[in-house]
Amino acid sequence: MKILENKRELDELLAKIRTNGTKIGLIPTMGSIHNGHLSLVENSMKENFFSITSIFVNPTQFNDLKDFKKYPQNKKQDIEKLNTVKCDAVFFPQIEELYPEGIKRKKTISKYRDILCDKFRPGHFDGVTTVVKSLFDIVTPDAVFFGEKDFQQLKIIKELIKKNNLPIQLIDCPSVRSKNGMSLSSRYNNFNTNQEILFNQISLKVNNCVNLLKKQIDINNLKNLNQYLEEDKKIKVDYLEVRDDDELLLTQKNKNARLFISFYIEDIRIIDNFKLY
Ligand code: PAF
């Protein structure tokens, strides 16, 4: 696997591989690579893209400096993990390469906003779209791979591609879940033992709620889960809602519906979504 430490090294590689018409697949990440990321790489490799995983912890998408500083990072382990799936290259962009005009975020996408994560993390998606657009400009991928765990992000990035008329195919990939049924997330590396035990207990309730909602969307199931979560002082719920996956509108019908959930266990934020059809 090629290890690219800056844009110059990326440009040199791109110039070589573009000559024979090879297509580029980009997997943007913030590192702390887990099996969810690896499945995105595998999808890209399967489609015969020259697969580049980018790793950059993007400051402009954090609402809180403390959260940014403690975002888990492990470059050596990330490289080892990406090697196991034979990823072609890993790219570590420099901050000034992604933010040539200074470290600030721009609001360019208004669709799918003011709801779900955007309501609780104002500006977060502006940080995401700013860095993702910059990555797209630098890497010029033919395809990009995003996971459904961050479903609202996926919708917003689709809009970003559409609005800018970018010749990029977005391939969305299903969440990879751990044994407890919850989608994998880099943030869970920060759990201590007690938080992990609590997370596993909560996951049983969440899965139970999902199974009930799959039969019929009854608002009482959401209320019960919400009540169970809020009874614990270590937990704070941001949202627990059923929305359709086309427009992200609230719905009480199962067609195209998903349960969207976000809560904190102390200072660790958990987000997930579950198909209800
Ligand atoms: O999903 C993520 O890991 C990040 O939001 C992304 C897309 C890499 C942008 O920093």
Contacts for 235 with CB less than 8 Å, ≥ 6 apart: 198, 202, 229, 263, 264, 265
Closest residue by Cα to residue 145 from 94, 106, 136:
136
Ligand 1, residue 157: give the atom nearest the CA.
Answer: 7
157 C-alpha vs ligand 1 centroid, how far in Å? Answer: 10
Q: Which band of pLDDT confidence, cut at 50, 70 and 90, is reported for residue 154? A: very high
pLDDT tens-digit readout, 185-244 = 999 999 999 999 999 999 999 999 999 999 999 999 999 999 999 999 999 999 999 999
104 C-alpha vs ligand 1 centroid, how far in Å? Answer: 16
Q: Does the annotation count 37 as an active-site position? A: yes
| Residue 22 φ then ψ, to 5° | -65, 135
Q: Considering the candidates 34, 37, 187, 243, report the single residue annotated as catalytic.
A: 37
Q: What is the pLDDT of residue 273?
A: 98
Q: Which domains does the chain have, with CATH numbers?
A: 2-173 (3.40.50.620), 186-272 (3.30.1300.10)
Q: What is the pLDDT of residue 51?
A: 98
pLDDT tens-digit readout, 23-36 = 999 999 999 999 99
Ligand 1, residue 61: give the atom nearest the CA.
Answer: 10
217 C-alpha vs ligand 1 centroid, how far in Å? Answer: 31
Q: What is the pLDDT of residue 189?
A: 93
Ligand 1, residue 28: give the atom nearest the CA.
Answer: 8
Per-residue buried b or exposed e for 23-34, using 16+ beta carbons within 10 Å of the residue's own CB: bbbbbbbbbbbb
Phi-psi region of 140 (alpha: psi -120 to 50; beta: other; left: phi over 0): left
Q: Which band of pLDDT confidence, cut at 50, 70 and 90, is reported for residue 253? A: very high
Q: What is the mean pLDDT of residues 170-180?
A: 97
Q: What is the pLDDT of residue 178?
A: 97
Q: What is the pLDDT of residue 263?
A: 98
Atom 5 of ligand 1 has which residue's CA nearest to it? 128
Q: What is the pLDDT of residue 257?
A: 98
pLDDT tens-digit readout, 53-87 = 999 999 999 999 999 999 999 999 999 999 999 99
Atom 9 of ligand 1 has which residue's CA nearest to it? 128
What residue has token string 């208004």? Answer: 110
Q: What is the pLDDT of residue 25?
A: 98
What residue has token string 């955007």? Answer: 118
CA-CA distance, 237 to 102, in Å (whole number)?
34
Average pLDDT value for the chain: 97
Q: Which band of pLDDT confidence, cut at 50, 70 and 90, is reported for residue 139? A: very high
CA-CA distance, 141 to 116, in Å (whole number)?
29
Q: What is the mean pLDDT of residues 118-127?
A: 98
Q: What is the pLDDT of residue 256?
A: 97
| Residue 170 φ then ψ, to 5° | -100, 125
